[in-house]
Amino acid sequence: MSAILDSLVVDEYRAAARYQHVMQAFGTVSPFNEMEPVQAARVQALMQIYRQYPAFPPPNPFEGPQYMERYASVAGACEVALEAETATAERYARAVALNPPATVQKILRYNRASTLAFEVAAATRCR
Q: What is the DSSP string of 72-110?
A: SSHHHHHHHHHHHHHHHHHHHHHHHHT---HHHHHHHHH
Residue 5's pLDDT band, with cuts at 50, 70 and 90, is very high
Q: Which residue has the higher pLDDT, 3 or 65?
A: 3
Output the pLDDT for position 68: 72
Tallying the residues shown for the chain, one arrives at 127
Q: Please give the radius of gyration of the chain, using alpha carbons only, rounded to the nearest integer.
A: 14
pLDDT at 63 over 90: no
Q: Are 56 and 50 in contact (CB under 8 A)?
A: yes
pLDDT tens column, 94-104: 999 999 999 99
Residue 65's pLDDT band, with cuts at 50, 70 and 90, is low
Output the pLDDT for position 54: 82
B/e letters for 4-23, b = 16+ CB within 10 Å, e = fewer, are ebbebbbbbbbbbbbbbbbb
The set of long-range contacts for 111-114, using a CB threshold of 8 Å and a minimum separation of 24, is: 111/8, 111/42, 111/45, 111/46, 114/38, 114/41, 114/42
pLDDT at 46 over 90: yes
Nearest to 35 by CA among 88, 90, 72: 88
Output the pLDDT for position 7: 94
Output the pLDDT for position 124: 93
d(CA 125, CA 119): 10
At position 104, the amino acid (one-letter code) is V
pLDDT tens column, 69-102: 788 999 999 999 999 999 999 999 999 999 999 9
Q: Tell whether domain 2-126 is in CATH 2.40.50.140.
A: no
